[in-house]
Amino acid sequence: MYAPAVEREIKEVVQEAIEKHGCGRDAFIPILSEINHTLGYIPAEAIREVKAQINHDGSFVSQGQLYGLASFYDMLSTQPRGRHVIKFCENAPCHVVGGKAIWDALRETLNLENGATTPDKKWTLVTTSCIGLCSVGPVLLIGDDMYGNVTVEQLPEILERYE
């Protein structure tokens, strides 16, 4: 799902996102989310490209405005991320049912700190806000796949599923 940026023209990705969501003010966040989803993050070139294309279409947006959005929202990243992003829920309900042990094990196994990416660009490890699956905590997401009632023993098997 996260095709490396080099493989797809950023221009093309931006154009597709704008075609899908329009170029009104209310489309800025959906456009950025779309780019983030396709490229895995929002490169600076993409922000320049969004500005150029939107302004060409008659609306006005500045690069600063777009960067302001990309840096404000947790789900948008301005830094490159790994092929698979592991989102770990660190909130109270997951915490009290043993989340800490999973978090420690994840960091240890991948040798990553919160927000970091492995040198081979395979994994990025981040914490996430509550995803509302509290009754099956501890919970983690890998890309769009959800895993509930996760135990430390299950982790290697879960991670193995990803190339």
Partner 1 sequence: MPFYRSHILVCVDPECLAKGAHDVVDALQDELVAQGLLEEIQVLETSRIGSCSDGPEMMVYPEGVHYVGMTADDVPFLVEEHFLKGRIVEKFREVHKAVVDEELGPLRPKEVRVVLRNCGEIDPMNIEDYLAVDGYQALGKVIGEMTPEQVIDEVTKSGLRGRGGAGFPAGRKWGLTRQVPGDIKYMVCNADEGDPGAFMNRRVLEGDPHSVIEGMIIGAYAVGASYGYIYCRAEYPLAVETLNVAIAQAREFGFLGNNILGTDFNFDLEVRVGAGAFVCGEETALMASIMGQRGEPRPRPPFPSVKGVWGKPSNNNNVETYANVPQIILKGADWYASMGTERSKGTKTFAVGGNVAKPGLIEVPMGITLREIIFDVAGGIKDGRQYKAVQTGGPMGGCLTAEHLDLPLDYEALTQAGSMMGSGGLVVMDETSCMVDIARFFMDFTQAESCGKCTPCRVGTRRILELLQKICDGKGQHGDIEKLEDLCHEVAKNSLCGLGQGAPNPVLSTLKHFRHEYEAHVYEKKCPAKVCRNLIHFEIQAPTCTGCMVCARNCPVEAISGERRQAHVIDINKCIRCGICMQVCNFNAVSVLS
Q: Should residue 129 be labelled a site residue for partner 1 when binding is judged by CB under 8 A?
A: yes
Q: Should residue 147 be labelled a site residue for partner 1 when binding is judged by CB under 8 A?
A: yes
Q: Should residue 4 be labelled a site residue for partner 1 when binding is judged by CB under 8 A?
A: no
State both tokens at 55: 């302004």
Q: Should residue 152 be labelled a site residue for partner 1 when binding is judged by CB under 8 A?
A: no
- In Å, what is the CA distance from 84 to each residue of 32, 37, 95, 157, 162? 19, 12, 23, 15, 8
What SS3 state is found at 64? helix
Toward partner 1, which CB reaches closer, 6 or 50? Answer: 50
The least CB distance from residue 120 to partner 1, in Å, is 26
What SS3 state is found at 55? helix
Toward partner 1, which CB reaches closer, 44 or 146? Answer: 146
* Residue among 1, 7, 60, 72 that touches partner 1 (CB under 8 A): 72
CA dihedral sign of residues 109, 111, 113, 119: negative
Question: In terms of Cα–Cα distance, which of 162, 131, 141, 2 is closest to 77?
Answer: 2
* Contact positions with partner 1 (CB under 8 A) in 17-36: 24-30, 32-33
Contact positions vs partner 1 (CB under 8 A): 24-30, 32-33, 68-69, 72-76, 91-93, 95-96, 128-136, 144-149
